[in-house]
Amino acid sequence: MTRALTAAAVGLFALATAACNKSPEGGTPGTNQTFTITTAPGDTNLKPGEEKTILLTMRRDDHFTQPVSLKADSQSPTISAHVNKTRMEGSDREVTLTVKAATDAPKGHHVIKVTGTPEKGQPTSLDVKVEVVSP
């Protein structure tokens, strides 16, 4: 019975962590001065030449109110990416990431690295996966 409960708990934990694409803590990890960047789970599918917008959410601890600078770096030369705000103030919670596949983008997985850097403390990064599919 104990093994079954342990297995069920491990399974639920795995599902919960897979259900959200979340960065490690930035700011001052281990304190109430942290933040993370999240997005909905799953890949974003794009056809060559297509553009899509992805909503990113900044989750802040109650005591983390400092501004965070954001940047998006595509790991592929045929996928462009940019955020609509490069600086999120203390009250900002959401930002959009726009990704576009070039007309010659190869099919397959591509990664956009979104990095949030606070004025004080550690930066954090979130890998956003993009899948280029057949037209």
For the chain, which domains are there? 22-132 (2.60.40.10)
pLDDT for position 43? 75
List the pLDDT tens digit at each of the 135 positions of the chain.
444 433 444 444 333 334 469 999 999 999 999 999 999 887 799 999 999 999 999 999 989 999 999 999 999 999 999 999 999 998 899 999 999 999 999 999 999 999 999 999 999 999 999 999 988
CA distances from 114 to 60, 103, 135 (A): 16, 23, 27
* Predicted TM-score of the model (pTM): 0.82
| CA 115/CA 122 separation, integer angstroms | 11
Q: What is the DSSP letter of 122?
A: B
Structure tokens at 57: 């959410």
Burial of 111 (0-12, 13-18, 19+ CB in 10 A): middle
Give the C-alpha separation, 114 to 117, whole Å. 10
Of residues 73, 72, 131, the one with CA closest to residue 105:
131
The predicted pLDDT at position 93 comes to: 93
Residue 12's pLDDT is: 40
Q: Where are the beta strands (DSSP E) in the chain?
A: 21-22, 26-28, 33-39, 44-46, 51-60, 68-74, 79-83, 87-88, 94-101, 108-118, 124-132
Q: Which pLDDT value is given to residue 45?
A: 95
